[in-house]
Amino acid sequence: MKVEHKFNLRSYSGKLGSMVYSSYFNYKLCHSRIFTYPKLTASHIRMREINNNLNALYMQASEAYRQDWKKYAQRNAMENRSRSWGILKQPPPAKALFVQCMWSWAKANPGVVDLRSVSKEDIANLGSPLLKLCACVQCGWLRKVTAWEKLDKQM
C-alpha cells in the first residue's frame, strides 16, 4: 500500500497504537510496521543495570560539576555543530556526554572498571579523568571548546 502525505508533512516518526513509523533518507522514505516488544536477553539486562548505575552516579555528583557538563554541552552545541544541512543532528546533552566519557574510561581500563557497579569512590581512588571535565578534554574523550580549561569543578 502506498501512502501520500498531505498538509506539508514530510514524514511520520514515532509510535501510534500498535504501529511504529520510521523515517529514513532525510524524511524521503517513511516505513511502518507493527510494534513487537523485543525479547529480553542478558545483554538487555546488563545495559539496564549499567544505565541505572551511570544515571545514579551522575545525580550523586556535585551541582557545580553538573553545571560544568551543562556549560560544556551548550558550548559544544554552538562550536562543534555540523555545517552541512544534510547531516545536521541534535548535539548530545550533558548527561549523554558524561555517559560517553564513562564508556571511554571503561574501554581504556578493561579489567579494572565495571560500569554496573562503579561508584564515586572508585572514580576518586583510581584517579580517573572523570573527576574533572577538563581532564576528559585533555584525554581526548571530548572535543575542545572555548574556555574548556575553566571547567574544573570536582565530582
| pLDDT tens, the chain, 155 aa long | 455 555 555 555 566 667 777 766 665 666 777 777 778 899 999 999 999 999 999 999 889 999 999 999 888 888 877 666 656 677 888 899 999 999 999 998 888 888 898 888 888 888 888 888 888 888 889 888 888 888 888 88
Q: What is the pLDDT of residue 78?
A: 83
Domain residue extents for the chain: 1-37, 42-81+91-150
Q: Is the pTM of this model over 0.85?
A: no
**Strands of 29-34's sheet in order across:** 14-16, 19-24, 29-34
Where are any strands of DSSP class E within 1-155? 14-16, 19-24, 29-34
Closest by Cα among 151, 145, 119 to 132? 151
Q: What is the pLDDT of residue 13?
A: 57
Give the cell for residue 34.
Answer: 507493527
Q: What is the pLDDT of residue 48?
A: 93
Rounded-to-integer distance, Cα 23 and Cα 5, Å: 13
